Structure formats: C-alpha cells, structure tokens
C-alpha cells in the first residue's frame, strides 16, 4: 500500500461524512438544557453518613402531576440521596386515566432510581379523615394490602410488613383549620407501635407544636415537600433547597436508612432551619463550623477571630452574655466566613455561649452553642 492509497481512503471517509449531513436539518445543541446535579455539602460526622431524603411526594398514580421517573430525576438533580413515592391509598383522582395498582409507581421508578443512584423507598399514604389524619408508611412490601375499610387494619398491616409510620401534615388547614391537636387516637397509635414520626414541616407550613410532640414522645422529625406538581414550578430552589431530612445512617443503604429513622436519627431541614434532637443539631454545628485562632486585637482589647462554614447549612447565633465584648449576633451563611470579636483571655482560652435561633429542639426552644476560642 502506498501513500496515495491512504490519502484516497481518508478523503473518501470525509466526503461520505459531508454528504451524509442533511442541509435541511441543522442541529443546535446549545438550546437544550444540560442538567447537572446540585451537590449539597454536609459536614462529615464520624460514624455516620448523612442521607438527604424527601419522604413524602406524589405522582400521577395518586394526585400528583408527574410520572414516577420524573420524581427520581428531580431528586437526583436537587442533590438528594433518597426519596419515597407516597401515593394515596384512598384518593386516586386519575384512576380512570392511569392504570395500575398501589405498587405501580414504585415499580416504574425503581429502574431509574438504580441508574441514578437514588435510594427509592417503597411507601404509601393512608389517607383518612381526622383523626387519625394522613399516615405515611415507609418501607412497605405490598401497598395493595393497605387498602382496607378500617384505618387501624391498614396501619397494622403496614407494621406487619415492617413499615415505619409517620403522621403527615398534622397542622393541615383542611383537617385542623383552627388549631393543631394531638388526639387520643394518636396516643393509642403510639402505644401500639403504629406511629414513629411526625412532620414538622410540609409544603410551605411548619408546626411548632409538632416539634414539641417529637421531642416529648420520642418521634422522628420530618421535613418533606409533599410535592404534587413539578418541583421547580413549586419551590424557590434558586434561593433555598427543597425541604428534606438529614438522616444519620451508618452507611448509604435502605437498611441503614430504615434503622436510622426508627432510632430517631433524623433532622428536619427547611429554608435555613434545622429541627431535631439537640445532640444531632450540636453534631451538625460542631462538625460544620471551623473556629480560627485570634489573629489580632481591636482597640478595646478584644480578640478578633474568624469563623468559617464550608457547608450548605446556615447558623444564626445570638449572644447569651451581652456586654462581654463578644459579637452580639452572628449569621454564618453557607460556604462563608465571618470575623467576630471576643474577650481576650489571660490563660489563652475564651468560652462563648450563643443561642442558635434557627436550630429547633422543641416548640420555640433552641440549643445553646459553645464556641471555644484559643
């Protein structure tokens, strides 16, 4: 073979490629959206992996407006690790248009969840009048068996399947328009191991009283979207992340996620608020905020110190000892730093006490944050 042969072959391929293009059809790929996942930066907690999950959503297989695979893709692009499709058992307005049973949404979504590395929780929402209201069952095996005449039978069946049960939107205006009450029925469910958690945030509402219930009754705290339309059409995801739960799991698996929820290792995350057990909130703060060493002294003799927050959490702090030379209020925005002042100490260490006003441990209760400067 000579040089002329290879030259001929090259130009033959080139001519074929040119002739194969249709001059009447010109591609413009730049007009198409190239979606990327929003990476949410969380602190590293020794012994745990923080699983970010939304455990209350709907599709067209109950009263939602999207296909199940869309919910999975939204979760991925919004930076979540886990999601549950919680279709209503008793309320199916599109039944005549969308064929399937109570497990169909999960069956359709599961392959896409596997492709996108999303933990998909099989679930359902038992939809009854108040009391008991709406109860979400996570980790069910067969949602069809939850379709019963008596709500107690549905809850017992869900629990027989190993389900985790939480009370959805207890302050929903359609069921409790004037107040948010804990009913005798809920005490009965709690005593019979048929209630394990409660939403403190749902859609665009949060319920201070349910925070107190979660604290006093050892319930797992939840913040969920309860989204029915497209997420990006509903939530201001430019300025805030969608509602989610930060679950302290031993590893990234459905089994570890389930164990963590039953052990109340979950923090509700909505807007820039965190709500949950105090020890978990302190873990999040202590492993998020980096406290620098004093780098100078101001004219009043106070140290100047930099606090750094490399995570996507926000911390709003109010000084509990006014007049001590420490900065009165601190806002640590995500991925930011602030400089504060604090009294200089002769022994080289100063301890500051702040109330974390956007961290909630109960109804209008906030933990005390200790900042040690040395």
Domain ranges of the chain: 49-274, 288-373
Report pLDDT for 10. Answer: 59
Report pLDDT for 52. Answer: 98
Report pLDDT for 9. Answer: 63
SS3 216: helix
Asked whether the beta carbons of 211 and 281 are under 8 A apart, the reply is no
Distance between the two ends of the chain, CA-based, in angstroms? 78
Report pLDDT for 58. Answer: 98
Q: Which two tokens stand for residue 107?
A: 């069956």
Asked whether the beta carbons of 132 and 186 are under 8 A apart, the reply is yes
Which residue has better confidence, 95 or 335? Answer: 335
Q: Which two tokens stand for residue 286?
A: 């202590």
pLDDT at 6 over 60: no
β-strands 164-167, 197-202: how paired?
parallel
Report pLDDT for 356. Answer: 97
pLDDT band at 18 (very low <50, low <70, confident <90, very high): low
pLDDT at 162 over 70: yes
pLDDT band at 14 (very low <50, low <70, confident <90, very high): low
pLDDT at 209 over 60: yes
pLDDT band at 8 (very low <50, low <70, confident <90, very high): low
Which helix (H) or strand (E) covers residue 139, if one does?
A: none
pLDDT at 163 over 90: yes
Q: For residue 96, count CB atoms less than 10 angstroms from its CB and return exposed for 0-12, middle for 13-18, buried for 19 or more.
A: exposed
Q: Which two tokens stand for residue 75?
A: 């979760």
SS3 118: coil
pTM for the whole structure: 0.91
Asked whether the beta carbons of 190 and 131 are under 8 A apart, the reply is no
Task: Look at the block and give the residue holding tokens 């302290």.
Answer: 248
Q: Which two tokens stand for residue 195?
A: 């209630």
CA distance 44 to 350: 26
Report pLDDT for 299. Answer: 83
User: How many Cα atoms are found within 13 Å in the side-chain-facing hemisphere of 109?
Assistant: 34
Asked whether the beta carbons of 220 and 374 are under 8 A apart, the reply is no
pLDDT band at 230 (very low <50, low <70, confident <90, very high): very high
pLDDT at 1 over 60: no
Residue 44 carries which DSSP code? P
The third-level CATH classification (topology) of the domain covering 288-373 is Immunoglobulin-like (2.60.40)
Give the least confident one: 43-52, 63-72, 116-125, 315-324. 315-324
Asked whether the beta carbons of 37 and 74 are under 8 A apart, the reply is no
At 276-309, the pLDDT tens digits run 999 999 999 999 999 999 989 888 888 999 999 9
Residues 6 or more apart from 250 whose CB is under 8 A from it?
A: 47, 48, 49, 256, 259, 260
C-alpha torsion angle, residues 158, 172, 197, 261 (rounded to 10): 90
Report pLDDT for 32. Answer: 85
Instruction: Dihedral sign for Cα 185, 187, 193, 197, please.
Output: positive
C-alpha torsion angle, residues 329, 332, 336, 340 (rounded to 10): 30
Q: Which residues pair with 274 in a beta bridge?
A: 269, 359
CA distance 374 to 372: 6
* Closest-CA residue to 205 (of 271, 279, 136): 271
What CATH architecture is 49-274?
Alpha-Beta Barrel (3.20)
The percent of residues above 70 in pLDDT, for the chain, comes to 94
Q: Tell me how crowded residue 111 is: count the other CB atoms within 10 A of its CB.
A: 12
Q: Which two tokens stand for residue 269?
A: 């995350």
């Amino acid at each position: 073979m000579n040089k002329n042969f290879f030259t001929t072959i090259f130009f033959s391929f080139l001519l074929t490629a040119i002739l194969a293009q249709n001059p009447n059809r010109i591609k413009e790929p730049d007009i198409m959206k190239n979606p990327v996942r929003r990476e949410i930066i969380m602190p590293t907690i020794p012994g745990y992996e923080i699983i970010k999950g939304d455990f209350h959503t709907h599709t067209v297989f109950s009263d939602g407006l999207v296909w199940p695979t869309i919910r999975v893709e939204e979760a991925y692009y919004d930076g979540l690790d886990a999601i549950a499709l919680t279709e209503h058992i008793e309320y199916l307005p599109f039944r005549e248009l969308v064929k399937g049973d109570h497990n169909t949404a999960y069956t359709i979504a599961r392959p896409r969840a596997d492709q996108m590395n999303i933990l998909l929780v099989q679930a359902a929402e038992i939809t009854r009048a108040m009391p008991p209201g709406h109860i979400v069952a996570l980790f069910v095996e067969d949602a069809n068996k939850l379709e019963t005449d008596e709500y107690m039978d549905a809850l017992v069946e869900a629990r027989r399947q190993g389900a985790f049960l939480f009370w959805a939107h207890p302050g929903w205006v359609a069921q409790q328009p004037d107040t948010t009450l804990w009913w005798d029925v809920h005490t009965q469910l709690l005593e019979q191991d048929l209630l394990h958690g409660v939403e403190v945030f749902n859609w665009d509402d949060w319920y201070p009283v349910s925070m107190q219930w979660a604290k006093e009754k050892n319930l797992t705290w939840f913040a969920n979207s309860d989204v029915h339309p497209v997420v990006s059409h509903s939530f201001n995801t430019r300025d805030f992340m969608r509602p989610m739960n930060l679950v302290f799991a031993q590893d990234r698996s459905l089994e570890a996620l389930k164990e963590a929820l039953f052990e109340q290792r979950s923090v509700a995350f909505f807007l820039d608020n965190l709500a949950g057990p105090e020890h978990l909130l302190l873990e999040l703060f202590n492993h998020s905020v980096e406290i620098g060493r004093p780098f100078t002294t101001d004219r009043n003799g106070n140290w100047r110190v930099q606090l750094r927050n490399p995570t996507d959490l926000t911390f709003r702090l109010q000084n509990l000892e006014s007049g001590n030379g420490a900065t009165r209020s601190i806002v640590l925005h995500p991925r930011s730093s602030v400089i504060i002042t604090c009294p200089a100490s002769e022994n080289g260490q100063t301890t500051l006490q702040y109330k974390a006003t956007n961290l909630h441990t109960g109804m209008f209760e906030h933990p005390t944050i200790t900042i040690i400067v040395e």
